[in-house]
Amino acid sequence: MNGFSFGPHLTSDGVAFRLWAPAAERVDLVLGDAAHAMEREPEGWFTCDIADLHAGARYRFRIDGDMEVPDPASSFQPEDISGPSEVIDHRSYTWRATEWRGRPWEDVVFLETHVGTFTPDGTYRAMIDRLDHLVETGITALELMPLADFPGRWNWGYDGALWYAPDSSYGRPDDLKALIDEAHLRGLMVFLDVVYNHFGPEGNYLGLYAPPFFTRTHTPWGIAIDYRVPEVRGFAVENALHWLRNYRFDGLRLDAVHAIDTADDLLLRDISIATGALARTSGRTIHLVLENDDNRASLLDPLGEPPAGKYRAQWNDDYHHAWHVLLSDERFGYYQDYQPPMPHIVRALEAGFAYQGEPSLHREGAFRGEPSANLPPTAFVNFLQNHDQIGNRALGDRLVCDPAALDAALAITLLAPMPPLLFMGEEWGATTPFPFFCDFHGDLAQAVREGRRREFKQAYETFGDDVPDPLAEATFARAKLDWQELQSPDGQRRHALIRKLLAVRQHEIVPNLRDAAFGEAGIESDGTLFASWSLGGELLTLTANLSTYPSARTVHSDSFIWGEPGPLAPWRVCWTMEGA
């Protein structure tokens, strides 16, 4: 694929500016009160070289003598999404972790975080002070929810409209680099969630001067992006490389790729191939992960090194949904597809996806998924909570259930061969809610309120004013983690459990994951859950009683890595590892 070189570039004597604006007759570069006519080139490109200009300069583009817009490939927006763009010199940061080349995929234990709510200050710099906590817990990969510039002061990040600019509410670009640098110095990988299925509803002006960016197809979040157009596809591919190269992220998680309107997986292929080329030339280990409601097993290859058209793994919503039904007994929405839950948990443990081509009641009978048992277990990122499964609830409440049941679920999730993910604070049992929040204004703000009321009509009828207003600053403030909970008796107990589980994972599971393969799983006549996996020359076996009733089963083994001999009490989990 040809490189298109979006955004400004520092030259030996100034700055070169470029904009793809095929529908514009004239484009001017605006620097302060001065306007410089840009030269129109073939294929809709406009260029302008300005001598004696340096990093820190702020600029806009004026389209056809009328509207002034930010650079769609802006590296930074110091005055929010519709303000001037700032030229950033990405070469000026002095990296300290110069020997860092990443870690193998088998090492990964994710902690998903939202920068604005992870600490009281809500900044990149403030996160640095919490990195040692991650290392002590056993986390190996810090995952940041999207950073692309969004309108206002707070947002989940999925409303980003300027994809290249880390939002200024969290700090400057060098602050983000310092966070990643400090993480690498501690042996932590850092991943970024990126959104290529839509632009946010405010701050995106591409339709005015580059209408080929969009199709007539609609997604749940707006008009679809047309990745059949080479320049459009190049914009997203260069964005992925921008985060990986300029900020040295160790990997990306691509949000909701099932909502990308593109033929023959062109965008997904090109991002993976370009990332693989970067990994080869830099000697780095880089990982790509998908969120994909379609359960496309054919897109996954956790063993490919470097990526060459495919992806390491996918977030496994099936695993979460089945466990959520078991632990909470909720049956609304997509949870209706996981009744009863145990067969779906079994299938996720023995073959990855629970839905591998079966009809989905929630999707009105549509067939969902592809066979996945031939893939390694490391192709499936498993979790009991994440930002979606907490935040896309009316109250933004976390999973609440019998502590013994949740301990059992964690003991299975964190020791199974599949890469585990925790949501920030889950490692100590945080009770802080994570409701949906954004900082829109005017008609857009009202549309969001009305949309939430339609989506959660029953909750508004039940809880009334207790349902948080998604536009209120108080809602954003409520989502900030209460780190004092970590020091409570319950917080200390849960944190100790997580630390022990992750220590066992690191010492017993991780060394054998490269050759892991699915085995068998099922429910025995006495209700006992069993599952097994081949890990190189070892056999990893799970035996568990996932009920409130004592089992008649007694577990005996000389090879326990978790649990001990004796009867299977309610919610008891035992793991063994022995030579196959």
Task: Transcribe 327-376 into DSSP letters.
Answer: HH---SGGGGGGSSHHHHHHHHHHHS-S-SSEEETTTTTEEE----TTS-
Strand partners, 68: 62
Helix (H) or strand (E) holding 61: strand 58-63
Q: Is the separation of the CB atoms in 479 and 435 below 8 Å?
A: yes
**In the numeric block, which tokens belong to residue 141?**
């990969």
Tell me whether residue 39 is one of the annotated catalytic residues.
no
538-544 and 573-579 as β-strands: parallel, antiparallel, unpaired? Answer: antiparallel
pLDDT at 23: 97
As a dihedral over the C-alpha atoms of residue 420, residue 425, residue 428, residue 431, rounded to 10 degrees, the angle is: -120
Catalytic residue selected from 174, 181, 250, 291? 291
Q: Within its chain, how far is the Cα of 486 from the centroid? A: 24
Catalytic residue selected from 255, 407, 426, 427? 255
Instruction: Identify whether 306 is preceded by a cis peptide bond (ω within 30 of 0).
Output: yes
Q: Is the separation of the CB atoms in 26 and 53 below 8 Å?
A: no
Per-residue pLDDT tens digits for 395-411: 999 999 999 999 999 99
Q: Is the separation of the CB atoms in 39 and 46 below 8 Å?
A: yes
Q: Is the separation of the CB atoms in 73 and 6 below 8 Å?
A: yes
- The conformation of residue 398, written as its DSSP 8-state character, comes to P
Instruction: Identify whether 340 is preceded by a cis peptide bond (ω within 30 of 0).
Output: yes
> What is the DSSP annotation of 141-200?
EEEEPP-EE-SSS-B-STT-SEEEEE-GGG--HHHHHHHHHHHHHTT-EEEEEE--S---
Tell me whether residue 255 is one of the annotated catalytic residues.
yes
- The neighbour count for residue 188, using CB atoms within 10 Å, is 21
SS3 content of the chain, % helix, strand, coil (to 5): 35, 25, 40
Report the C-alpha gap between 375 and 518 in whole angstroms: 8
Residues 6+ apart with CB under 8 A from 530: 520, 521, 522, 523, 524, 541, 542, 543, 544
Strand partners, 311: 300
**In the numeric block, which tokens belong to residue 545?**
């009683």
Distance in Å from the first CA to the final CA of the chain:
46
pLDDT at 218: 75
As a dihedral over the C-alpha atoms of residue 312, residue 318, residue 322, residue 327, rounded to 10 degrees, the angle is: 50
Give the total residue count for the chain. 580
Reduced 3-state DSSP string for 231-251: HHHHHHHHHHHHHHHHCCCCE
Residues 6+ apart with CB under 8 A from 496: none
Q: What is the pLDDT along the chain (580 residues), one digit of tens a residue?
A: 345 789 999 999 999 999 999 999 999 999 999 999 999 998 999 999 999 999 999 999 999 999 999 999 999 999 999 999 999 999 999 999 999 999 999 999 999 999 999 999 999 999 999 999 999 999 999 999 999 999 999 999 999 999 999 999 999 999 999 999 999 999 999 999 999 999 999 999 999 999 999 998 777 777 889 999 999 999 999 999 999 999 999 999 999 999 997 666 899 999 999 999 999 999 999 999 999 999 999 999 999 888 889 999 999 999 999 999 999 999 988 999 999 999 999 999 999 999 999 999 999 999 999 999 999 999 999 999 999 999 989 899 999 999 999 999 999 999 999 999 999 999 999 999 999 999 999 999 999 999 888 888 888 888 888 899 999 999 999 999 999 999 999 999 999 999 999 999 999 999 999 999 999 999 998 889 999 999 988 999 999 999 999 988 899 888 999 999 999 999 999 999 998 5
**In the numeric block, which tokens belong to residue 573?**
């989990």
Which pTM does this prediction carry?
A: 0.97
The two counts, helices (H) then strands (E), for the chain are 15, 30
Residue among 477, 443, 387 at smallest CA distance from 153: 477
Per-residue pLDDT tens digits for 446-467: 999 998 888 888 888 888 888 9
pLDDT at 263: 61
**In the numeric block, which tokens belong to residue 16?**
């070169």
Residues 6+ apart with CB under 8 A from 34: none
| 3-state secondary structure (DSSP) of residue 527 | coil
